[in-house]
């Protein structure tokens, strides 16, 4: 009998630095730009206090600060970024919400909510100016 697979916990195999790099590539395929004014004139401003891989930036055009997760669906959610990235990966493999919930040790409602948010895109839709 070989049940080695059951001993591997996928979240422990995931690197936070790569998760943040993945988000940067997904939201800024042409390089980091300001979520407020779309300027590419950006300087790095250190790292987040609690998440060392989360890069902070300062926009030289509008002088507003933002970070890797500003205006994304990940910013206000209690799940760590690695869970989101894995969720995206499993969606690419066409796993069901039920299977994703099992793999990531989520309850089915959380998995359902996450996959439906991810399908709408990782950057939050801005309300159109009135």
How far apart (Å, rounded) are the C-alpha atoms in residues 35 and 124? 10
Binding site for Zn ion (CB under 5 A): 34, 36-37, 39, 59, 61-62
Question: Which residue lies nearer to Zn ion by CB, 41 or 105?
Answer: 41
The least CB distance from residue 67 to Zn ion, in Å, is: 13
Question: Which residue lies nearer to Zn ion by CB, 19 or 59?
Answer: 59
Question: Which residue lies nearer to Zn ion by CB, 59 or 83?
Answer: 59
> Any idea what the Cα angle at residue 48 is, between residues 82 and 119, rounded to 5°?
35
- The residues pairing with 44 across neighbouring beta strands, listed in sequence order, are 57
The least CB distance from residue 122 to Zn ion, in Å, is: 20
Question: Which residue lies nearer to Zn ion by CB, 39 or 117?
Answer: 39
**Which parts of 1-123 are beta strand (E)?**
42-47, 55-59, 65-67
The least CB distance from residue 62 to Zn ion, in Å, is: 3
CA torsion sign, 119 to 109 to 99 to 103?
positive
């Amino acid at each position: 009998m070989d049940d080695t697979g059951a001993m591997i916990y996928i979240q422990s195999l995931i690197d936070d630095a790569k998760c943040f790099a993945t988000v940067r590539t997904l939201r800024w395929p042409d390089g980091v730009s300001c979520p407020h004014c779309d300027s590419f004139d950006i300087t790095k401003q250190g790292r987040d206090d609690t998440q060392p891989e989360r890069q902070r930036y300062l926009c030289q055009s509008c002088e507003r600060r933002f970070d890797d997760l500003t205006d994304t669906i990940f910013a206000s959610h209690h799940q760590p970024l690695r869970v989101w990235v894995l969720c995206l990966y499993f969606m690419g493999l066409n796993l069901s919400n039920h299977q994703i919930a099992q793999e990531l040790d989520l309850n089915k409602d959380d998995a359902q909510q996450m996959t439906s948010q991810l399908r709408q895109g990782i950057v939050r839709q801005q309300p159109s100016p009135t």
